Amino acid sequence: MSFFKKLKEKLTTQTTEVTDKFKTGLEKTRDSFATKMNELVYRYRKVDEEFFEELEDILIGADVGVNTVMTLIDDLKDEVRIRNIKDTKDIQPVISEKLAELLQKEEEDAALNIQTDGMTVILVVGVNGVGKTTTIGKLANHLKQDGKSVMLAAGDTFRAGAIEQLEVWGERVGVDVIKQQEGSDPAAVMYDALQAAKSRGVDVLICDTAGRLQNKVNLMNELEKVKRVIEREVPSAPHEVLLVLDATTGQNAMSQAKTFGKSTDVSGIVLTKLDGTAKGGIVLAIRHELDIPVKFVGLGEKVDDLQPFNAEQFVYGLFKDILEEQEKEEIED
């Protein structure tokens, strides 16, 4: 069975709505990537070294990342030899297959670590401007739709308007927000929120954090302090440390991931604004080079456009046109 048929079979077990969200959300990346891929295949009738060199450029241009591209190209060259591929058209489904392999991890690795016998504490980190507060609101909505009771902790006390912005999201999705006044100690806010969440029997507490400090205290030290308070009050927590990254910033997002990863034990990535960039290949770079699972992706502005990451959906959204063309050829054959 071809890779495309296997992919289609997996997608039939998921909702059409989710498939449509990934197709629409990856449109900019797909249009840019697919157009260049089709042009490459049109110009090169045989798979040779020059073909691979241009393919490298296309992948790097989509922000797949140099190290990831080198790994992918080496794997593709091996497959070309093993399968005796001569025609460039025959390599298109192999490229999508290899990208899927790079993204694949155990399903539980990409799922949120939700506790079944107590409160789940999720710490959300990231620099200002990446869509952190919006992500928290959408994540709260996602968990509520899944039947969980949710509370938010307004731990970003330094950015003007951050507390109010979180309150707006709390009202919008119908969850309580625990806050103090602007400029308060974030760790104190976390303590209050943890006590409130415990007393009310909340399923999930989502904690907002500062993305930049207006004093000389190091941001990472402040995050570590917040984490210590959480660990003291709920010994197994935080159960998730989600790093929010802006997909439109490309390789800069990689740098942020490395910095936060060193200090806060990041357990998963939330990649926002994926629908707003033609460089969606950053998902592959993060997954391969940092070995941190992408747990959610932002595919639009609506409250339900934050979607759990799905490797098959991503690959289909990225290669939809190429894969559907491949399917037509298989049917004709």
Contact residues for 119 (Cβ-Cβ < 8 A; gap 6+): 197, 198, 202, 203, 204, 205, 234, 237
Q: Judge whether 19 is annotated as a binding position.
A: no
Q: How many CA atoms lie within 13 A of 1 on its CB side?
A: 7
Residues facing 122 on adjacent strands: 206, 240
174 annotated ligand binder: no
Q: How many CB atoms lie within 10 A of CB 235?
A: 7
Going by their DSSP bridges, the two strands 306-308 and 294-298 should be labelled as antiparallel
Structure tokens at 132: 């952190």
**Residues, the chain, total?**
333
* 245 backbone dihedrals φ, ψ, rounded to 5°: -125, 145
132: annotated binding-site residue? yes
Q: Is 209 annotated as a binding residue?
A: yes
Q: Please give the Cα distance from 329 to 118 (Å, whole number).
A: 53
Q: Any known ligand binding at 130?
A: yes
Has 162 been labeled as part of a binding site? no
- Identify which of 314, 316, 240 has the alpha carbon closest to the alpha carbon of residue 283: 314
Confirm or deny that 129 is annotated as ligand binding.
Answer: yes
- Is 166 assigned to a binding site? no
Residue 211 among known ligand-binding residues: yes
The answer to whether 272 is annotated as binding is yes
Element (H, E) at 125: strand 120-125
Residue 212, annotated ligand binder? yes
CB 123 within 8 A of CB 266: no
218 assigned to a ligand binding site: no
Binding residue per annotation — 133? Answer: yes
Answer yes or no: is 268 a known binding residue.
no
Q: Which helix (H) or strand (E) holds 69?
A: helix 66-83
Which residue, among 20, 306, 282, has the nearest Cα to 136 in the 3D structure? 306
135 annotated as a binding-site residue: no
DSSP letters along 213-262, please? Answer: -SSSS-HHHHHHHHHHHHHHHSTT--SEEEEEEEGGGTHHHHHHHHHHHH
Residue 216's contacts (CB-CB under 8 Å, 6 or more residues apart) are: none
Sequence ranges of the binding site for GTP: 126-133, 208-212, 272-275
Sequence ranges of the binding site: 126-133, 208-212, 272-275
